[in-house]
Amino acid sequence: MTATPDILVLGLGAMGAATLMHASGRGATVVGIDRFAPPHTHGSTHGESRITRLAIGEGPEYVPLVQRSHQLWRDLEQRREVSLYEACGGLILGCGEATPMHGQAHFFESTVNVAAAHGITHELLDATQIATRWPQFQLTGAEQGYFEPEAGYVRPEACIAAQLAEAKARGAMIHTGERLLSWSEDSRGLLIQTDRGSYRPGQVIVCLGAWLPKFVPPGFVPPGLVSAPALRVTRQVLYWFAADKPESYQANRFPIFIWNWGPKAGQGFYGFPDLGGGVKVATDGHQPCDPDAVPRVVSEAEVTHLYDTHVRSRLRGLGPACVRTATCLYTEAPDARFWIDRVGHNGPIIVSACSGHGFKHSAAIGESVARWALRGELPAVLQPFAYVPER
């Protein structure tokens, strides 16, 4: 039998869970499907924590999304009595030279400019001030710091679980262990085939994360578009190192940080306070992969390389013993931007996996995408993320 929900959400990770929750309880029949049982460890949304910050150095157009997301996390925390967002403060360290990040040529300067333009509370610090406040950082003296008190981290697995629970409470149907096989369009509209059946929904929202390129492969031209961005999936590794004095790295004494210590690509890493299982650090990886065949084992050589390159001479009291690792997936558009767009006139709404910096915006993206599907009008906050081929 072919099901005919008003709204069908494909993929229930960061973007899909948020979208499902906001689409639910508004009079429409809403179904969400996922091939696994989110939150899970196969995609892009696991590993304990994600950085959030208000001054988005990637561009001012992202600021309304993260501001709204912070409000939505707080609302959800109250409603479901869970802890989702910790404003432990965030420090961005620059090296005094232009450092590229997420498609932005001078990430530090751009962050400061966005903070000033949006009236975001922050402090600019020199190396002496940084060292006095956080002696955990071992500095050269040339560093410049941007500190934002409202920055911090969000718990991705807890966010997904809370949003799915809330969606269910509002009447959404959630089908886990159901896999999308194909989508097509005929004279009767969209036809979605899964390994359990078929759907003719009013609206389809595609939140497949790293699996999106399998349905929108490079060179594929969705109807109504001139072309689609060639999305690239890469393997990312998260590392947890034990601190000699764990209390000195706890969230009341240590911020999240992004540290671009040199001007070249690869000369930067980011990290989090110790949430009980070590200090998590990572750097952007560039190894392309197939999400169904990504090597999940992290080698000793990888651990040693990460520790020697980034940690050994920069974070005091963290030894080389790695207590935990996890592999995760980035799905990046060529310019590291987001791709949130409708295919054709009334085709699927595509919500891309957002190029390795999407989680902090996911609550607001879900809210706006749900509104778009329910009301038919593209919310202004999403307009900057439509795909423009010549960009």
What is the contact surface with ligand FAD in residues (CB under 6 A)? 10-16, 33-36, 38, 42-45, 47, 50-51, 179-180, 207-211, 236, 238, 282, 328-330, 353-354, 356-360
Nearest to 162 by CA among 220, 84, 59: 84
Q: Which residue is nearest to ligand FAD (CB)?
A: 13
Q: Which of 327, 328, 351, 323 is CA-nearest to residue 338? A: 351
Strand order in the sheet with 152-154: 50-52, 152-154, 85-86
Dmax (CA) of the chain: 68
Nearer to ligand FAD, 38 or 229 (CB): 38
Q: Measured from the CB of residue 152, what is the shortest distance to ligand FAD in angstroms?
A: 11
With CA atoms as reference, report the closest residue to 256 among 372, 110, 162, 136.
Answer: 136
Distance in Å, CB of 145 to ligand FAD, minimum? 18
Q: Closer to ligand FAD by CB, 30 or 210: give it.
A: 210
Q: How far is the CB of 27 from ligand FAD (least distance, A)?
A: 25
The nearer residue to ligand FAD, 131 or 232, going by C-beta atoms, is 232
Q: Provide the minimum distance between the beta carbon of 157 and ligand FAD in the complex, in angstroms, as a whole number.
A: 10
Q: Which is nearer to ligand FAD, 43 or 94 (CB)?
A: 43
Q: How far is CA 288 from CA 65, 210, 236, 332, in A?
A: 28, 11, 10, 10
For residues 96 and 217, which CB has a smaller minimum distance to ligand FAD in the complex? 217
The residue (of 4 and 41) whose beta carbon lies closer to ligand FAD is 41
Helices (H) and strands (E) in the chain, counts: 8, 22
Instruction: Please work out, in degrees rounded to the nearest 5, the angle formed at the alpha carbon of residue 222 by the alpha carbons of 218 and 228.
Output: 45
What is the C-alpha to C-alpha distance for residues 98 and 108, in angstroms, rounded to an integer? Answer: 8
Nearer to ligand FAD, 71 or 128 (CB): 71
Q: Do residues 373 and 367 touch, judged by C-beta distance below 8 A?
A: no
**Least gap, CB of 214 to ligand FAD (angstroms):** 7
CB atoms within 10 A of CB 284: 17
Question: Is the alpha carbon torsion for 241, 14, 255, 306 positive or negative?
Answer: positive
Q: How far is the CB of 105 from ligand FAD (least distance, A)?
A: 20
Nearest to ligand FAD of 70, 360 (CB atom) = 360
Q: How far is the CB of 352 from ligand FAD (least distance, A)?
A: 7
At its nearest, how many Å lie between ligand FAD and the CB of residue 221? Answer: 21
DSSP for residue 246: G
The torsion defined by the Cα of 109, 111, 112 and 118, in degrees rounded to 10, comes to 140
